[in-house]
Amino acid sequence: MFRIVPSMLLIVPALALAQVDSVDRPMDSVAAPREAHLEQRVVRAVSERSGVGSIGREELAGAPSLAAVLDHQSGVQVRRAGGLGSYTTASLHASPAQQVEVWMDGVPLGGSTGSKVDLGPFPLEGLERVEIRQAGSTGAFGSPRIDLVSRSGWTQRGASLRLASYGERGVSGWWGDDEGRATVSAWWESARNDYPFPWDNGTRYNTADDRQVRLSNNDYEGRGAALSWRPTESVDVSARVDDSRRGISAPGWVDPAARLEGTSAQGFLRWVGDWDWKPSVEGSGKWDASVWRDPNRTAGWNVDRSADETAWDLAARVAVARDRGDWADVEVAGKTRWETSDRQSTGNAAVAVTPSGNRRTLGLQGIWNGRSASSRWGAQVGASTDWIVDSRDWAESLGDVSRIEPLETPWESHRVHGRLWGRPAGSLETWISASVRQRAPDFREWMGDNGFTLQTPDLSSELSISREIGLKILVDGWTGEAAGWFQTYRDPIEAYQKGASPLVAHRNAAGYEAFGIDARLGWEKDPFRAAAQGTLQDAAVSDGNPSLDGKRPVRFPAWKASVDASAGPWRGWRAGTGLALEGATYASELNRATDLRDGKVDMGAWIRWSRGAVSATVQADNLFDEHAEDWEDLPQPGRRYSVRLDFEFSKPTKTREER
């Protein structure tokens, strides 16, 4: 089966290229009407912003987890530690996961220069949309970025219920006023997660003791609520509360008592003036409190028995932009941000450390965005600089943290970006972009967090260079997009396990270069829909150690692909299937033949019946019952069945977009 996929990956972009001149259709019409959301799982809603992938509500509703949704996307590499709610990170175009910024409703979830965000505890029931922006598409201001948008029910109201394997349960509801000015949603989900998987008992030669084991203490519960309000055309307000609780355990690291619990609340306000030079003001605030408990097991490090953290993150941005669609469009912005973390950690009974730290950031951004009168081609050049001051009251030595007089460290981060695009035909868009980014260590990278991450005060800035060239086409019934990318990472900041403990610290690692091709292809002809996407990629580490130099990074597949197809509705019935594949990876940086681990095969199928406002879905995922590993010795759950009931009542008065 694996041999088929590379061929398919070659065919997909070829098909796309073959359709270039068939129909001269304006690209803007690609923006999917509301009805098209119903089958976004099979018809990728190719955003009008080339290189930006958008995943809608329908696809989210049909996936087991956010990790699974992202794992289907080309150019995205997901690593997860287990079942629903477990620790999950994403990498875009082979970037370090730390560089991927994750935003929720316009509020950054990571640190000020981007840091790894655990994507595990985000219930899909609480999300309306997920957008993926690769480095070549983020403009002057951004990094590789994942935007999460809270569940909303503009002019709609409804509820959903689901039951699934491994004790999974979920319920959600949403409501929107008739005028489409306000929407409220709430969700709750939980899972036991104690899934079984085959285990060799750690003995590679002795197969007599191979057996099934079952994880324990991996229960998960997530809940939250979101509010969006648009009192006037120029003001947006949103608020969201999240809460997650989970047990932590793994084969070889069984701890029936380890818990990680967190609560966060955030708010966002934006005002945009409707003048020729559009002024805008944004402000956001986020508060986090988390608790880590591991009373029965410590590894001798001074933070691994318990830790409590309170963190604040306040940000503001003021901008003015000219947007007339000619060669003189510019945007200038200033921003500021204040992040804090106060923690009390206890390891040895007699030792309780209370590290505190904060970061103050002041940034300036400027971008020129020109386009021809015909909008056939255009260019974008931008630059941004952040001036950062870190402050901490602790020092670290051999894993011990001691209190010191407040110490301040200044940093600067810079990014320049250029992008040239053209639309030689209405159905074809091409672009080429490049960016260079010097990134200071993120607040969370040197400060650590409340889960497993220790402080690392001695990091250096890293440098990233991104280049991307791509094309997008739309031909009657077909959409296609392909992009080639080439990334260079120097002194990338990476997380690593601290000795034999479960704790993680950061370091500047050996650099690497990566390149690849992403391709997406969608086809639709009622009542059938199909979509395929894939990535071919490679990477080589530049390490002073000759045994590691030139090797492929750990858990880095050379290819991945997914195909989804569906049919319907027919008398209220619809059905679909999906297949996601991923190539083998190395479990060690030495890339030995014995380090090769099997790739992934994930096939699913669903059938749905709808009548009026009610629909019922029966779904199966991972039909081949694979237990792929993303992390060392952490097999994923096997086959999963789910049943879902949705009730949705629309009031098709004025849509939010029409207003």
Partner 1 sequence: MNAKMAWALVAATLMVSCTEDAEEEQGVCTEGPRVLALGSKWTESGGSSSLDLVGCGKVQAYEPSRGMPAHSDLALDLAGGNTYLIDRQGGAVTGFLGSDLSKPFLDVNVGGDANPYAVAKLADHLWVARYGSTHLLGIPFSGAKADSIDLSSYADTSTRIPRMMGVEVWNGKLVVALQRLDKSWSAVDSSVVLVVDPATKKVETRIALPFRNPEGVDLRGNLLALACLGGYGEKPDAGLVVVDLSKGVVSTAVSGVELGGDPSRVAFVSDDRVWAALLVVKHPNYKAVPVDLASKKVGSPFAEAGSVGDLAFDGGSLWVANHDDASPRVYRVDPTSGAKTGEYTARLAPGRLLVLP
What are the residues binding partner 1 (CB under 8 A)?
201-209, 251-254, 298, 300, 347-351, 397-398, 400, 494-500, 504, 544-548, 554-555, 587-590, 592-595, 597, 631-633
Which residue's CB is nearer to partner 1, number 131 or number 595? 595
Shortest Cβ 70–partner 1 spacing (Å): 18
The C-alpha angle with vertex 356 and arms to 352 and 358, in degrees rounded to 5, equals 165
CB of 349 to partner 1, least distance (A): 4
Q: Which is nearer to partner 1, 181 or 597 (CB)?
A: 597
- The DSSP result for 576-626, as a single string, is EEEEEEE--EESSTT--GGGEE--EEEEEEEEEEEETTEEEEEEEE-TT--
Least Å from the CB of residue 207 to partner 1: 7
Closest distance to partner 1 from the beta carbon of 90 (Å): 14
Number of other residues whose CB lies within 10 A of the CB of residue 344: 16
Of 258 and 504, CB closest to partner 1: 504
* C-beta of 589 vs 648, nearer to partner 1: 589
Question: Which residues are within 8 A (CB) of 566 and not within 5 positions of it... i.e. 6 or more apart?
Answer: 39, 41, 42, 528, 529, 530, 574, 575, 576, 577
Please confirm whether the linkage preceding 569 is cis (ω < 30° from 0): yes
Q: Provide the minimum distance between the beta carbon of 545 and partner 1 in the complex, in angstroms, as a whole number.
A: 6
CB of 132: closest distance to partner 1 in angstroms? 22
Q: 244 near 261, Cβ under 8 Å? A: yes
**How many other C-beta atoms lie within 10 A of the C-beta of residue 292?**
24
DSSP 488-538: EEES-EEEEE-TTSS-EEEEE--EEEEEEEEEEEEEEETTEEEEEEEEEEE
What is the spatial distance between Cα 18 and Cα 60, in angstroms, rounded to a whole number? 31
Report the amino acid identity of residue 260.
L
Query: Strand, coil or helix: what is 245?
Result: strand
Query: Residue 208 or residue 373: which is nearer to partner 1 going by CB?
Result: 208
Nearest CB to partner 1, comparing residues 497 and 655: 497
CB of 211 to partner 1, least distance (A): 9
Q: How far is the CB of 397 from partner 1 (least distance, A)?
A: 7
Among residues 253 and 387, whose Cβ is nearest to partner 1?
Answer: 253
Nearer of residues 253 and 609 to partner 1, judged by Cβ: 253
Report in angstroms how near the CB of residue 96 gets to partner 1 at its nearest: 10
* 3-state SS string for 411-426: EEEEEEEEEEEEEEEC
**Nearest distance from C-beta of residue 585 to partner 1, angstroms:** 10
Greatest C-alpha distance within the chain: 76
- Surface-to-core class of residue 7, CB atoms within 10 Å of its CB (0-12 exposed, 13-18 middle, 19+ buried): exposed
Q: With respect to partner 1, which residue has the nearer C-beta, 143 or 453? A: 453
Q: Which residues of 77-91 are buried (b: 16+ CB within 10 A; e: fewer)?
A: bbbbbbbbbbbbbbb
Nearer to partner 1, 255 or 386 (CB): 255
In whole angstroms, how close is the CB of 398 to partner 1 at the nearest point?
6
Q: With respect to partner 1, which residue has the nearer C-beta, 351 or 364?
A: 351
Give the pair of three-digit tokens for residue 381.
């050049």
In terms of CB distance, is 302 or 487 closer to partner 1? 302
Which of 123, 162, 129, 166 shows the shortest CA–CA distance to 53? 129
**Of 57, 69, 66, 37, nearest in space to 562 by CA:** 69
Supply φ then ψ for residue 466, to 5 degrees.
-120, 135
For the bound state, the minimum distance from the C-beta of residue 423 to partner 1, rounded and expressed in Å, comes to 42
- Residue 553 CA to residue 198 CA, distance in Å, equals 26
| Residues in Cβ contact with 562 at an 8 Å cutoff, skipping those fewer than 6 apart | 72, 74, 532, 533, 534, 578, 579, 580, 581
